Structure 1
Amino acid sequence: MAASRIDGRTLRSQRTRQAIVDANMDLMLEGNLRPTAVEIARRAGISTRALFTHFPDLENLFAATGEQTLAIQYAEYEPVPADLPLDERVERFCQQRAQMLESIAGASRAAQARLPFSPQLRQNRARHNARLRTDLGLTFAPEIAEASEDADLLVTALLVACTWPTWMGSRDDLALTVREATAIMIRTTHALLLTSSRAKDPRPSN
């Protein structure tokens, strides 16, 4: 019976913790860039005191929310086979990447606003970038291999083209639609890969 009570308390604690993370995420996805403790607690259906019991500071909450953000972003992710024609790979990768970025846009905007002041948010961003770098490396493996000593530079350039700050610049600063911003990402990614390939081609151009 004692073990059962402990298990029950643990389960309730886990549910409360998840409710807090869900509430914070929902508020950000709805456009609230800086949800307050009162707002998060109200959305989660708990007291503010209970919130701080589970998350004594914002960094702890940012860590848990970052894990959920990555899970949401990759919920429907499908790797693009590296043996497809380049044009098709670029199209499929960028279309999917655009959907992934839009799926967490609210959370990413909120993180961007607090990024300079939070080591945890910078760590979250580094984890997202590392995952993107891996995805790019797998999808465009043939072209990256051809780049030889410039391979790291090429991957970094592709990363810049497909990462959140660039997408935010297209969507927020330039007020592009999702379709327009996706077209820019496709064109930029394609140009980077073609430029790298031509740079390694010893044949003279006509």
Structure 2
Amino acid sequence: MSAAAVDGRSARAQRTRQIIADAHIALINDGELRPSAKQIAARAGVSQRALWDNFKDMESLMAGTARQQLDRQDEAFISVEPDVSLPERIERYCRQRAALLESVAPLARAADLQRPFSPVLQENLRENLRRIRAAFEALFMKELAALAPGDRERFTLAACAAADWASWQLLRDQLGLGVEQAGEVLQLTLTALLTHVAGAAAQGATVPGTAPPTPPAPPGVTAPGATLREGAALSGPG
């Protein structure tokens, strides 16, 4: 077989995989959160045999679907300039996150149902969290750089948790907020975190996440959090 024939065959296989993944996404977006192979093949206009020729099992199909969705997200992504003002960066970031989270909501709900049984979806979640963190750290590098390492880690985790799908789902599905309201809550949360930290860092003050000094305990009372040795010393011999 010539190289051209091999290339053509490879291109057709790739196109078939894209069609199948598109059908999978379309069914989920239509509300079918756990579509069967039969449904996916019918939606794609291919035989079930063709589906299994291109994907060895549902795990590999979910992996292919996730990759296709991620590629589309990357194509649609418009970066926020890190040198604009902090309020503007927060507003743009939150608007972008809200639009993204709303667009992937059906797929995210479907993934939530199957993740406990799917190593692929478990790894996809970890990868997504890494991507959220990397994007957040790049956009708010200046504010994060002013923090001590321990504070930076805690603050970054708090901010990324607020911007993750789980928080968005809570706002939209459990609390019943509209898209605009949920976006406002996200923006309010990140504004409070970022402006507080920026102000504290500028003044050299303690930032959220560090414990204040424990006040002295009254005579004869063990201070909260004291070690066993400290408690024994405060209590006297015996």
Tell me the TM-score normalised to structure 1 length. Answer: 0.91
Between structure 1 and structure 2, the one with the greater Rg is: 2
Q: Offset of 1:9 from its aligned partner?
A: 2.8
Map of 1:180 onto structure 2: 181
Q: Distance in 1 between matches of 2:2 and 2:44?
A: 28
The alignment covers a number of residue pairs equal to 204
What secondary structure is seen at the aligned counterpart in 2 of 1:170?
helix
Asked if the contact 1:41–1:47 (Cα under 8 Å) also holds between the matched residues in 2, the reply is yes
Q: Offset of 1:199 from its aligned partner?
A: 4.1
Distance 1:15-1:145 versus aligned 2 partners, 3 A rule: same
The aligned amino acid for 1:87 is P
Asked if the contact 1:81–1:139 (Cα under 8 Å) also holds between the matched residues in 2, the reply is yes
Map of 2:123 onto structure 1: 123
What secondary structure is seen at the aligned counterpart in 2 of 1:75?
helix
Q: Distance in 2 between matches of 1:109 and 1:103?
A: 12
What are the equivalent positions in structure 2 for 1:22-41 lying under 5 Å apart? 22-41=22-41
The aligned amino acid for 1:144 is L
What are the equivalent positions in structure 2 for 1:78-93 lying under 5 Å apart? 78-93=78-93
Tell me the TM-score normalised to structure 2 length. Answer: 0.80
What secondary structure is seen at the aligned counterpart in 1 of 2:69?
helix
Q: Offset of 1:102 from its aligned partner?
A: 1.3
Asked if the contact 1:82–1:140 (Cα under 8 Å) also holds between the matched residues in 2, the reply is yes
Map of 2:72 onto structure 1: 72
The higher-RCO structure (CA 8 Å, 6+ apart) is: 1
Distance 1:4-1:72 versus aligned 2 partners, 3 A rule: closer
Q: Distance in 1 between matches of 2:174 and 2:135?
A: 26
Q: Offset of 1:158 from its aligned partner?
A: 0.9
Please identify which structure carries the higher helix content: 1
Q: Offset of 1:165 from its aligned partner?
A: 0.8
Q: Offset of 1:197 from its aligned partner?
A: 3.0
Asked if the contact 1:162–1:185 (Cα under 8 Å) also holds between the matched residues in 2, the reply is yes
Report % sequence identity.
Answer: 41
Q: Distance in 2 between matches of 1:148 and 1:31?
A: 46
Q: Distance in 1 between matches of 2:83 and 2:108?
A: 32
Q: Distance in 1 between matches of 2:137 and 2:87?
A: 16
Map of 2:51 onto structure 1: 51
Q: Offset of 1:126 from its aligned partner?
A: 1.5
Q: Distance in 2 between matches of 1:12 and 1:88?
A: 45
Map of 1:164 onto structure 2: 165
The aligned amino acid for 2:80 is V
What secondary structure is seen at the aligned counterpart in 1 of 2:75?
coil
User: Alpha-carbon deviations, 1:159-206, whole Å to 9, x = none?
Assistant: 1010111111111111111100000000011111123234443479xx
Task: Tell me whether 1:191 sits opposite 2:192 in the alignment.
Answer: yes
The aligned amino acid for 1:15 is R
Asked if the contact 2:18–2:68 (Cα under 8 Å) also holds between the matched residues in 1, the reply is no
List alignment gaps of at least 5 residues for structure 2: 207-238
Map of 1:154 onto structure 2: 155
Q: Offset of 1:104 from its aligned partner?
A: 1.4
Map of 2:132 onto structure 1: 132
What secondary structure is seen at the aligned counterpart in 2 of 1:194?
helix
Distance 1:203-1:126 versus aligned 2 partners, 3 A rule: closer
Q: Offset of 1:3 from its aligned partner?
A: 4.4
Q: Distance in 2 between matches of 1:12 and 1:81?
A: 39
